[in-house]
């Protein structure tokens, strides 16, 4: 039995400690907003926050997340109020298929925590998620909008 | 009479397969007379519109949403004619089972070939207009006045003479009992107030909060999870497996033979299933195809460049004679690799089978083809099967196939009553795709003494998608007996005048032919399909021709575009916007490309700078004339998105074959463009309207980005690259 704190709630989960956090979130915790894209930390669709830092959960054994604050896309809004990144995403009509966007949003939210006014170069370095639909132009616009919100 | 139970299963399979073939098929769409009771108590006003008492409008959409915005666009078209309040519009997917039971009342479900809007705009608008007339008639009946005296606006019906008004929601129940009118006049697009506007998408909210349910996220009570491994060599067989070796692994419930080439492990969780299937000892019978490699395929295609026999896709004059007598000849050979779609969401489907019913939940681009696969794999009749569509985490053509659906049903059939969610690992997805076909091309141009291009021969040699997937569709669109077995889709962007992928130049002596060579690697429709390579071959070679006679690349093209005003208009649009003919910033070089495909006319102009092995695409202008622009904001996103997909392919993507199998297994070997590499994309929409066929949006622009960038790269470096991806030449995006 492993105790995990996900989106502020602690729950006990029966799982092999080697299981990637991604699959524990999706299959045991029932939080399917975090997506499986590659399983080898290449694409970023599985990005969550672990103690506020963006992490690719497909490469993180669940045992490494014990005792830490895990935030998923479902926990980004606070008290029913969307995070500024989510709002900017809606205002810019960013998602196309949307499958990568949970991870993209979580990566951007972590970037803004660290650098509230990121430059284009900051964005280029920090945001390395794959989006096959090619929403990057709207993503960049929305990041700047969220930063100025 | 309900036709569903009597449906001839075989004829349905053939019809749906034909419909998904990317070719025009003259299906009779039987909407209108059919007027069934709604599925529940909510009144259905004709087949396309449901209106709730609170005035919520539910538009029926049968094309699949995979990011391209077709749901929003189709709803705009229906709402435009319905004259409802856009803020109250929502949508739902009917199932193919319901459609079959109602004589295909919603027509073709297939979402490929950029056809979502362009081939259904007429009847969905008619559906909206018919519903409007029924609602007006219901109000008129209630007030005992003539419907002609009523006006409607934003879902409110008004009888001015008596100062009465009501809403759609209040009369919906009565309207649902009326006959669907047949004589419908559609609005002139110049009067549109909802269609044609850059409205926000209808499906965004749940895509930013994690609530959107993709096929990957489907959950059913008691569900188990399955992971598969298919024989790495296409055409190879599953000989045996040793399930005892993994029986004690955590969560494992069952190991099943899925089909001749595939084994599955079913477990409590997918992670357990994947871990176990990877540990499962399997013996394959790889067969003869294990001898095939990229090199053997390339050598075979090379022979086709000079083969005697070839299908003629387009010709005029006498190209061979004109080339023989040309004062100057220019020749080049190009090649294009296999590529995987690599949708962000790996393929998956959830199936529940009992002897009485088989249902599937999945993301599919063609619910009718998926439905046909469910019938076949389950052995149950149409009336006992159905497919419930989810939003797709990308499709790009891959989800037009239903191999993963058939697999899910096969597994579920071996565990009746237990819902089975099958997920392909990324590695399975990469190595068992339906790949962008391989093609080589020999290009030969001939000039007269005045440097006029008098002849062009394009010889294609390579793989036909249609021959593999829809052989019954070969020959369609051609009556020349010498062309028996031709795949006209191979000639996308090179076809005869009047077709939906017509060649974009007028050349006195022209021959475009195809030596068909079909390796064992399964080909598929990959966003843009054959325009990807045909645009590179043609548009790079046109630059080579212009440069061989020292002419400006834009002027050279213009001289060859007599009688092609729409091609010329998009070319001029990008040339003007990029500043062609004016000095570029220091170190910046420009390139052009144009093509016609999916009944749209598209062009691109790129500005690049080159440093070491890195190309920085500074900006790229993309123009499209898709006849009518239903949602300009979404079209702009498709232009930019298609450039990302096309340039990722150009720079990074190749699936190589070794020992009969695909070598690349994941994104570390099959890269995709990131935000740092994203050029500034400027979309120019030049919809020309009128009575022309509507053009597609999702695919056409994809093909012009690559040749525009390659042509600019040549201007920067003097290096003409003719084989791809560019990573093989140690070139990457900056």
Q: What are phi and psi of B324, to 5 degrees?
A: -65, -35
Give the closest of A19, A93, A137 to B204, CB-based.
A93
**For residue B21, what pLDDT is reported?**
32
**Integer angstrom CA distances of residue B358 from B6, B17, B420, B466, B688:** 18, 20, 12, 30, 47
**For residue B82, what pLDDT is reported?**
98
Does residue B17 belong to any structural domain of this protein? no
- Shortest distance between the Cα of B122 and any Cα of chain A, in A, equals 25
User: Counting runs of H as helices and runs of E as strands, what totals does chain A give?
Assistant: 5, 5
Q: Residue B46 is encoded by which pair of tokens? A: 């004709």
Number of domains observed in the structure of chain B: 3
Structure confidence at residue B13 as a pLDDT band (50, 70, 90): very low
Would you say B264 and B228 are in contact if contact means Cβ atoms under 8 Å apart? yes
Residue B635 has pLDDT above 80, yes or no: yes
Report the run of H or E that residue B447 belongs to, with start and end: strand B439-447
Would you say B695 and B118 are in contact if contact means Cβ atoms under 8 Å apart? yes
Q: Do A98 and B207 touch (CB under 8 A)?
A: yes
- Shortest distance between the Cα of B610 and any Cα of chain A, in A, equals 19
Would you say B601 and B569 are in contact if contact means Cβ atoms under 8 Å apart? yes
Residue B399 has pLDDT above 50, yes or no: yes
Nearest-Cα residue of chain A relative to residue B392: A97
**For residue B10, what pLDDT is reported?**
32
Same domain, B240 and B333: no
Same domain, B371 and B499: no
Same domain, B719 and B585: yes
User: Percent of chain B beyond pLDDT 70?
Assistant: 94
- Selected residue of A72, A127, A133, A143 to mutate for chain B interface (largest B Cβ count, 10 A): A133
Give the closest of B344, B640, B648 to A99, CB-based.
B344
Same domain, B452 and B513: yes
Strand ranges of the sheet holding A69-71, from the earlier edge strand across to the other edge: A9-13, A2-6, A69-71, A47-50, A53-56
**For residue B482, what pLDDT is reported?**
83
- Let me know the angle formed at the C-alpha of B509 by B508 and B513, rounded to the nearest 5 degrees: 135
**Integer angstrom CA distances of residue B538 from A19, B308, B326, B504, B722:** 50, 22, 20, 10, 11
Report the run of H or E that residue B511 belongs to, with start and end: strand B509-516
User: Which pLDDT tens digit goes with each residue over B237-251?
Assistant: 999 999 999 999 999
Computed over every residue of chain B, the mean pLDDT equals: 94
Where is the domain boundary, B149, B184, B207?
Answer: B207
Across the range B542-558, mean pLDDT stands at: 98
Structure confidence at residue B32 as a pLDDT band (50, 70, 90): very low
What pTM did the predictor assign? 0.95
Where is the domain boundary, B391, B423, B455?
Answer: B423
Report the run of H or E that residue A2 belongs to, with start and end: strand A2-6
- Shortest distance between the Cα of B429 and any Cα of chain A, in A, equals 10
Q: Do A36 and B666 touch (CB under 8 A)?
A: no
The residue range of the domain holding B200 is 31-207
Give the closest of A73, A93, A132 to B344, CB-based.
A132
User: B633 — contact with chain A (CB < 8 Å)?
Assistant: yes
**For residue B41, what pLDDT is reported?**
57
Would you say A50 and A68 are in contact if contact means Cβ atoms under 8 Å apart? yes
User: Which pLDDT tens digit goes with each residue over B184-230?
Assistant: 999 999 999 999 999 999 999 999 999 999 999 999 999 999 999 99
Structure confidence at residue B476 as a pLDDT band (50, 70, 90): confident
Does residue B630 belong to any structural domain of this protein? yes
Which of 567-626 (B) contact A at CB < 8 A? none
Residue B550 has pLDDT above 60, yes or no: yes
CATH number at residue B267: 3.30.365.10
Across the range B58-76, mean pLDDT stands at: 98
Chain B residues in contact with A103 by the CB 8 A cut-off are none
- Shortest distance between the Cα of B270 and any Cα of chain A, in A, equals 8
**For residue B481, what pLDDT is reported?**
83
- Shortest distance between the Cα of A140 and any Cα of chain B, in A, equals 8
- Shortest distance between the Cα of A19 and any Cα of chain B, in A, equals 7
Q: Do B210 and A90 touch (CB under 8 A)?
A: no
User: Percent of chain B beyond pLDDT 90?
Assistant: 93
Kindly report each contact of residues B133-140 with a partner whose C-beta sits within 8 Å and lies 24 or more positions away, as own/partner.
B133/B181, B133/B184, B134/B45, B134/B46, B134/B175, B134/B176, B134/B178, B134/B180, B134/B181, B135/B45, B135/B51, B135/B168, B135/B171, B135/B172, B135/B175, B137/B175, B137/B178, B138/B171, B138/B172, B138/B174, B138/B175, B138/B178, B139/B166, B139/B171
Chain A residues in contact with B423 by the CB 8 A cut-off are 36
**For residue B300, what pLDDT is reported?**
98
**Integer angstrom CA distances of residue B643 from A132, B20, B525:** 11, 25, 17
Same domain, B381 and B512: no
Same domain, B563 and B674: yes
Same domain, B125 and B267: no
**For residue B653, what pLDDT is reported?**
98
Chain B residues in contact with A89 by the CB 8 A cut-off are 204, 208
| Among B552, B312, B322, B565, CA closest to B453 | B322
- Let me know the angle formed at the C-alpha of B534 by B532 and B538, rounded to the nearest 5 degrees: 125
Same domain, B563 and B641: yes
User: B676 — contact with chain A (CB < 8 Å)?
Assistant: yes
User: B74 — contact with chain A (CB < 8 Å)?
Assistant: no
User: Which pLDDT tens digit goes with each residue over B590-601?
Assistant: 999 999 999 999
Q: Do A38 and B676 touch (CB under 8 A)?
A: no
**Integer angstrom CA distances of residue B100 from B12, B29, B95, B96:** 9, 12, 9, 6
Give the closest of A19, A76, A125 to B271, CB-based.
A19
Chain B residues in contact with A101 by the CB 8 A cut-off are 207-208
- Shortest distance between the Cα of B238 and any Cα of chain A, in A, equals 26
Question: Between these two residues, B476 and B133, which has the higher pLDDT value?
Answer: B133
Q: Residue B388 is encoded by which pair of tokens? A: 């419930």
Q: How far apart are CA B705 and CA B698, in angstroms?
A: 14
**For residue A104, what pLDDT is reported?**
98
User: Which pLDDT tens digit goes with each residue over A83-118?
Assistant: 999 999 999 999 999 999 999 999 999 999 999 999
Same domain, B44 and B140: yes
User: Which pLDDT tens digit goes with each residue over B435-460?
Assistant: 999 999 999 999 999 999 999 999 99
Chain B residues in contact with A71 by the CB 8 A cut-off are none
Chain B residues in contact with A102 by the CB 8 A cut-off are 210
Structure confidence at residue B20 as a pLDDT band (50, 70, 90): very low
**For residue B19, what pLDDT is reported?**
37
Give the closest of A37, A95, A139 to B675, CB-based.
A139
DSSP annotation of A28: I
Q: How far apart are CA B714 and CA B441, in angstroms?
A: 19
**For residue B16, what pLDDT is reported?**
37
Q: Which of B266-270, B480-484, B636-640, B729-733 has the lowest mean pLDDT?
A: B480-484
Structure confidence at residue B265 as a pLDDT band (50, 70, 90): very high
User: Which pLDDT tens digit goes with each residue over B652-681?
Assistant: 999 999 999 999 999 999 999 999 999 999
**For residue B475, what pLDDT is reported?**
79
Residue B477 has pLDDT above 80, yes or no: no
Does residue B636 belong to any structural domain of this protein? yes
**Integer angstrom CA distances of residue A29 from A3, B266, B535:** 11, 20, 48
**Can you name the CATH fold of A2-74?**
Ubiquitin-like (UB roll) (3.10.20)
Nearest-Cα residue of chain A relative to residue B635: A96
- Selected residue of A18, A81, A97, A128 to mutate for chain B interface (largest B Cβ count, 10 A): A97
Same domain, B368 and B464: no
Same domain, B280 and B314: no
User: Which pLDDT tens digit goes with each residue over B41-51?
Assistant: 578 999 999 99
Does residue B16 belong to any structural domain of this protein? no
Pick the CATH number of A84-147 from 1.10.20.10, 1.20.810.10, 3.40.50.300, 1.10.150.120: 1.10.150.120
Q: Do B210 and A77 touch (CB under 8 A)?
A: no
Give the closest of A37, A77, A125 to B209, CB-based.
A77
Q: Do B672 and A82 touch (CB under 8 A)?
A: no
Residue A58 has pLDDT above 80, yes or no: yes
Would you say A141 and B679 are in contact if contact means Cβ atoms under 8 Å apart? no
Does residue B14 belong to any structural domain of this protein? no
Give the closest of A16, A33, A128 to B211, CB-based.
A33
- Shortest distance between the Cα of B205 and any Cα of chain A, in A, equals 7
Chain B residues in contact with A98 by the CB 8 A cut-off are 67, 203-204, 207-208, 212, 391, 393
Q: What are the boundaries of each domain within chain A?
A: 2-74, 84-147
Where is the domain boundary, B423, B456, B478?
Answer: B423
**Integer angstrom CA distances of residue B301 from B304, B334, B723:** 5, 11, 14
Would you say B651 and B733 are in contact if contact means Cβ atoms under 8 Å apart? yes
Chain A residues in contact with B641 by the CB 8 A cut-off are 96, 133-135
Same domain, B60 and B142: yes
Q: Do B209 and A33 touch (CB under 8 A)?
A: yes
């Amino acid at each position: 039995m492993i105790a995990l704190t996900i989106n502020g709630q602690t729950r006990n989960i029966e799982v092999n400690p080697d299981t990637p956090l991604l699959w524990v979130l999706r299959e045991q915790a029932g939080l399917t907003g975090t997506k499986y894209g590659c399983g080898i930390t290449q694409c970023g669709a599985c990005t969550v926050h672990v103690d506020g830092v963006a992490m690719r959960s497909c490469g993180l054994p669940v045992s490494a997340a014990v005792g830490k604050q895990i935030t998923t896309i479902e926990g980004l809004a606070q008290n029913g109020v969307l995070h500024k990144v989510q709002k900017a995403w809606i205002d810019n009509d960013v998602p196309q298929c949307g499958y990568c966007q949970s991870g993209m949003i979580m990566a951007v939210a972590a970037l803004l925590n660290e650098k509230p006014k990121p430059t284009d170069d900051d964005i280029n370095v920090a945001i390395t998620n794959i989006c096959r639909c090619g929403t990057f132009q709207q993503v960049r616009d929305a990041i700047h909008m969220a930063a100025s919100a | 009479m309900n036709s569903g139970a009597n449906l001839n299963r075989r004829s349905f399979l053939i019809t749906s397969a034909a419909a998904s073939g990317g070719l025009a098929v003259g299906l009779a769409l039987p909407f209108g007379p059919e007027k069934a009771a709604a599925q529940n108590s909510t009144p259905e006003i004709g087949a396309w519109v449901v209106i709730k008492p609170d005035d919520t409008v539910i538009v029926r959409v049968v094309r699949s949403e995979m990011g391209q915005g077709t749901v929003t666009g189709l709803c705009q078209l229906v709402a435009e004619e319905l004259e409802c309040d856009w803020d109250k519009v929502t949508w739902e997917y009917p199932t193919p089972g319901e459609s079959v039971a109602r004589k295909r009342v919603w027509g073709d479900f297939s979402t490929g070939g950029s056809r979502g809007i362009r081939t259904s705009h007429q009847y969905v608008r008619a559906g909206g207009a018919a519903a409007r007339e029924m609602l007006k008639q219901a109000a008129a009946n209630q007030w005992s006045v003539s419907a002609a005296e009523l006006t409607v606006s934003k879902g409110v019906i008004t009888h001015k003479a008596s100062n009465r008004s009501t809403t759609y929601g209040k009369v919906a129940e009565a309207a649902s009992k009326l006959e669907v009118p047949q004589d419908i006049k559609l609005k002139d697009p110049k009067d549109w107030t909802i269609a044609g506007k850059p409205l926000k998408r209808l499906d965004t909210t749940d895509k930013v909060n994690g609530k959107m349910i993709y096929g990957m996220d489907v959950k059913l009570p008691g569900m188990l999870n399955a992971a598969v491994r298919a024989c790495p060599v296409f055409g190879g067989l599953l000989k045996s497996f040793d399930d005892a070796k993994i029986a004690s692994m955590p969560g494992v419930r069952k190991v099943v033979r899925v089909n001749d080439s595939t084994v599955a492990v079913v477990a409590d969780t997918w992670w357990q299933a994947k871990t176990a299937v990877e540990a499962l000892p399997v013996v394959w019978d790889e067969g003869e195809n294990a001898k095939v490699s990229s090199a053997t395929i390339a050598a075979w295609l090379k022979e086709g460049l000079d083969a005697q026999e070839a299908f003629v896709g387009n010709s005029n004059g006498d190209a061979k004679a004109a080339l023989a007598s040309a004062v100057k000849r220019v020749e080049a050979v190009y090649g294009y690799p296999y590529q995987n779609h690599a949708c962000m969401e790996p393929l998956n489907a959830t199936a529940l089978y009992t002897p009485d019913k088989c249902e599937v939940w999945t993301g599919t681009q063609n619910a009718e083809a998926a439905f046909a696969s469910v019938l076949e794999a389950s052995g149950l009749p149409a009336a006992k099967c159905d497919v419930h569509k989810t939003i797709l985490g990308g499709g790009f053509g891959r989800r037009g196939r239903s191999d993963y659906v058939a697999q899910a049903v096969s597994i579920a059939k071996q565990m009746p009553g237990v819902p089975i969610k099958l997920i392909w690992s990324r590695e399975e997805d990469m190595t068992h795709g339906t790949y962008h076909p391989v093609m080589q091309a020999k290009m030969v141009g001939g000039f007269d003494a005045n440097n006029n291009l008098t002849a062009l021969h394009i010889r294609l040699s390579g793989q036909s998608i249609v021959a593999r997937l829809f052989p019954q569709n070969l020959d369609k669109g051609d009556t020349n007996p010498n062309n028996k077995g031709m795949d006209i889709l191979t000639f996308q962007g090179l076809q005869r005048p009047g077709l939906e992928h017509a060649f974009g130049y007028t050349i006195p002596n022209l021959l475009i032919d195809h030596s068909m060579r079909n390796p064992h690697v399964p080909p598929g429709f990959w966003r843009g399909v054959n325009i990807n390579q045909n645009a590179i071959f043609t548009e790079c070679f046109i630059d080579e021709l212009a440069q061989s006679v020292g002419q400006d690349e834009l002027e050279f093209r213009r001289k060859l575009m007599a009688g092609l005003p729409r091609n010329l208009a998009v070319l001029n649009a990008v040339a003007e916007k990029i500043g062609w003919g004016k000095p570029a910033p220091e170190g910046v070089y420009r390139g052009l490309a144009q093509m016609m495909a999916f009944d749209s006319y598209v062009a691109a102009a790129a500005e690049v700078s080159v440093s070491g092995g890195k190309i920085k695409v500074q900006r790229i202008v993309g123009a499209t004339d898709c006849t009518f622009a239903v949602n300009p904001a979404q079209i702009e996103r498709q232009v930019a998105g298609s450039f990302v997909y096309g340039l990722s392919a150009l720079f990074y993507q190749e699936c190589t074959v070794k020992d009969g199998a695909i070598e690349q297994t994941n994104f570390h070997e099959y890269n995709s463009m990131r935000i740092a590499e994203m050029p500034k994309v400027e979309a120019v929409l030049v919809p020309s309207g009128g009575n022309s066929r509507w053009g597609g949006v999702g695919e056409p622009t994809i093909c012009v980005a690559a040749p525009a960038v390659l042509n600019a790269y040549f201007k920067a470096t003097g290096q003409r690259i003719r084989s791809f991806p560019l990573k093989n030449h140690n070139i990457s995006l900056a």
